[in-house]
Amino acid sequence: MKSLAGLRAIRESMHQPSNRLNNETTTRIMVGMGTCGIAAGARTVLLTVMEELATRNLQHVAVAQTGCMGMCEKEPLVEIEVDGQKTTYAYINADKARKIVLEHIVNGSPITEWVVTKS
């Protein structure tokens, strides 16, 4: 777990215009933060995603929380949307979240073995 100051800095970064969902954003990351997701570790996944994006200075990526995504048994869930193409990942932890940012967001290569839905 991060320090209180670190968590506050992350929270503040979520309120910056570059991290909000808007029509100009080409890449979006949604983390399922329903009760089932939180119980499975989604809060850690969300913080890890935000840290990775900040570390890599990926300002074109918006991060948001969503409620239950309907696959409680597969939580934590992360949905990536790039140019209208949605990919949902299941059973995500902090290490997998880091790899998703690197492989899917930076390199443009979804990690197929973790994908549960794609549209």
Partner residues linked to 28 by β-bridges = 62, 81
Q: How confident is the model at residue 18 (pLDDT cuts 50, 70, 90)?
A: very low
When divided into structural domains, the chain yields a total of: 1
CATH code for the domain of 114: 3.40.30.10
Helices (H), the chain: 4-14, 35-40, 42-55, 94-100
Does the pTM of the predicted model rise above 0.75?
yes
What would the pLDDT profile of 27-47 be if each residue is shown by its tens digit?
Answer: 999 999 999 999 999 999 999
Domain of residue 65, residue span? 4-118
| Cβ pair 35, 68 in contact under 8 A | yes
Report the C-alpha gap between 29 and 43 in whole angstroms: 14
